[in-house]
Structure 1
Amino acid sequence: MKYVIIFLLIFTTSHAQLTKPLEPKLENIKWIAGTWHGEAFGGITEEIWSEPSGGSMMATFKLIHDGKVVFYEIEVIREVENSLILQLKHFGPDLKGWETKDETVDFPLKEITENKVIFEGMTFEKISSNEMNIYVDIKNEDGIAETVKFNYKK
């Protein structure tokens, strides 16, 4: 019985340390920076994230299907009021915006751990220094929310 209690204490302590939330600082998520390639929506995806600077990180995204761009995104993660927020805008292949001029799609931060950045509706998961998954909650054509997984490699 003594060994079981010790094991549970060690397991609980080590598990808590692995998932301990980190401060909402760009420095704690800089592993997202880089040029990432993957596949989604039946096409090829590319997402390029900058290193943190000026209180933000920025990214561009594009989806290519049958050799043609389907859409682009501009994304930023900003430090705001002791937290982080991810904001993005979509653009068609002709660079005409989907959202209105002053509108953004916003994802407030929920939590950062050593290998995850969890925003409301979007999660970044570090698999290794050269691989990450991004999970995005998207409403399908019927208005039902589903989570789409993007697997990226550098």
Structure 2
Amino acid sequence: MATWAEFAAEQPDMAAFVQSRFAADRHALIATLRKDGSPRISGVEPDFTRGELWAGMMPDSLKSRDLRRDPRFALHCMTTTASMTEAGDAKISGTAEFWADKDVYLKDLFDRTGWQPKPEEIDLFRMDVTEVVQLTVEGDEMVVLSWHEGRGTRRVTKK
């Protein structure tokens, strides 16, 4: 698995685009797997800081339980228009690691935002990435740029 910093070092332009899409609207959607293997879609606010991708959630929430049981996830930014002509689209897939030592992250969060939940008020996950996808529209074509760990990037255009 690659950390966000490792991905960004390999693909700095794509990393900047993807981070900007997630920053445009802090709210995103995360897909996790339920106990029976079916998908669950939940809201989340991903946080890119210190070369890592993080997600905090309510303690013992269903999505937190899902990730503790099966760490695979897919994360999708909010898309502002159906045509995607204004900003594009971004997706990240990988695995999430439950993070029990929250003090450093929570101090950094407070320094950046002025908000600091108590450690018991948040389940914290650090996310490694296996796939990152950027979608944009150029002229009358949709351009899909995808990166897969160990395989690099691939560009596909669709009319």
Provide the TM-score with structure 1 as the length reference: 0.31
The structure, 1 or 2, with the larger RCO (C-alpha pairs under 8 Å, 6+ apart) is: 2
Report the structure, 1 or 2, having the larger helix content: 2
Report the structure, 1 or 2, having the larger strand content: 1
